[in-house]
Amino acid sequence: MLTTRPNSVSSVGFFLLFLSLQPLSSLSQPPPPPMSSSSSVHDSFLKCLSDKTKTPQSQISKIVFSQTNPSYTSVLRAYIRNARFNTSSTPKPTIIVTPLSESHVSAAVLCSKPLNYVFKIRSGGHDYDGLSYISDKPFFILDLFNLRDVSVDISGQTAWISAGATLGEVYYKIWEKSKVLGFPAGVCPTVGVGGHLSGGGYGNMVRKFGLTVDHFIDAKMVDVNGTVLDRKAMGEDLFWAISGGGGGSFGVVLGYKVKLVPVPETVTVFRVEQLMASGAVDMVHKWQFVGPKTDKNLFMRMLIQPVTRNKVKTVRATVVALFLGKADDVVSLLEKELPELALKKENCTEMTWYQSALWWDNRVNATETDPKVFLDRNLDSSSFGKRKSDYVETEIPRKGIESLFNKMIELGKIGLVFNPYGGRMAEIADDATPFPHRNMLYKIQYSVNWKESSPELERGYLNQAKVLYSFMTGFVSKNPRGAYLNYRDVDIGVNDHGEDSYKEGEVYGRMYFGKNFDRLVKIKTEVDPGNFFRNEQSIPTLPSKA
């Protein structure tokens, strides 16, 4: 999500007007067959959709939006979450399809294939670089926002959650039925289930319960043949692939059945900040030895941001935490393990798990907030932003932290978010799911947001992100340098799906998936050999043998 606060996702583009994200690729599939106009494409698609669904065109047309439809712009903009990709110059889809049922999704896949348009899939629109709704080739968008059912089974402690639901809706539906069950996913309530879950997914219970994908039981998806598959029908390889390998490479994920997790009746949250003058360098340095190794019930996110205080530029380090327990216990724990934080009980607030989700969404008075706010999707709301990611496997020396702070002061705006691993994360094998970074100490998110629409500002802020990313090279993972799929970043490589598709895909694929990339490619080649499901960072097929 692209707001002024950092967030976890991301369940999943580029901006053609400005040159800051060059080189941009074209998706080198066969060009769409010549038609007199986009209206011909629309008419052909609509007829096919009507035939496949056995629905009159007058009825099925209600879910198909061409560029001449009065509602087209509002439907397109509703789930654009990065204002960089919401301009008159941003490429627009020829058609947007908003399915109401599984049969609509199947038909949309089958009817799009002969037209050879790029087929983008959007669930919540939080792909940081816009790959779910941007292309530099003629494209359609399959927008899943209507497929938002969340069915919670308290007796079985499970839930079926549809791809177009938001995390906030999932949390609310669980809260309606239980105050002692939760789900380990992201902290941004408007993130879509489809991208977040298929890309790995994590939140502030990651140290206690691992990734979101570690709690999958079943799934439903539509494959390239338009067939609806569950886990048994798709087989374990494909189920593994969509459990962190990104759903958009293999088909259209319709939803997941997940195992819910137990949460205590009372949890504790706190937010404590320090400036450089009051010991921030020492605190951040020490945090690296504590955050990933402390009690797995404690998640301490570290926010690092350049600020100005009394006309002096400095860096603010803020710990934002969730403890699955009482305030007295976490205060006692950190008195011993991280005295540099100087946590006191008055810094802490006890509340329910659901209220903590509200608090993490920057709702300070979470205990007094209407729980239904998580049902608000905040449509057509976005700011400008850029994200990147890294992983740290050995602690950064104190001098390194100090030099990092000075570099951030020099750059002026870009911030960092450190998310600790350890705990349950380190107990699960790197190949259990496509996500390969489980043994890292912590993940870094690079985060910069701005509100003004300005090419000059955009170039400057994107450059800050690149400069800081380069500066961090010696402190982060290597061979390959790791990256997190849900913090989408086209700077690390894009794919034009031509003759060099595999080589291009391997560049970003190794960074996102490590050794698991090879298995993902084999599965992709088996289930979608024609590479219909593709985007600028999708899993490529194996190169064809001469």
User: Torsions phi, psi of 503, nearest 5?
Assistant: -65, -40
Active site residue 171: no
Burial class (CB in 10 A: 0-12, 13-18, 19+), 427: exposed
Say which of 391, 487, 502, 512 is annotated catalytic.
487
Half-sphere exposure of 122 (CA within 13 A, CB side): 32
Q: With H, G, I as helix, E, B as strand and everything else as coil, classify residue 466.
A: helix
Instruction: State which amino acid sits at residue 52.
Output: K
Instruction: State which amino acid sits at residue 225.
Output: N
Cβ neighbour number for residue 498 with a 10 Å cutoff? 12
The 3-class secondary structure across 479-498, one letter per residue, is CCCCCCCCCCCHHHCCCCCC
**What is the side-by-side strand order in the sheet with 150-153?**
150-153, 158-162, 252-259, 216-222, 228-230
Q: With H, G, I as helix, E, B as strand and everything else as coil, classify residue 119.
A: strand
Q: What is the DSSP letter of 32?
A: P
Q: CA-CA distance, 415 to 198, in Å (whole number)?
A: 27
Query: Token pair of 424, please?
Result: 């349950």
Query: Token pair of 347, please?
Result: 């810094």
206 and 425 Cβ atoms separated by less than 8 Å: yes
Q: CA-CA distance, 280 to 259, in Å (whole number)?
A: 39
* Nearest to 271, CA basis, from 343, 324, 202: 343
Q: CA-CA distance, 83 to 328, in Å (whole number)?
A: 43
443 and 418 Cβ atoms separated by less than 8 Å: yes
158 and 137 Cβ atoms separated by less than 8 Å: no
Helix (H) or strand (E) run with residue 329 in it: helix 327-337
Helix (H) or strand (E) run with residue 305 in it: strand 298-309
Between CA 341 and CA 296, with CA 332 as vertex, the angle to 5 degrees is 85
360 and 184 Cβ atoms separated by less than 8 Å: no
Which residues does the annotation mark as catalytic?
A: 487
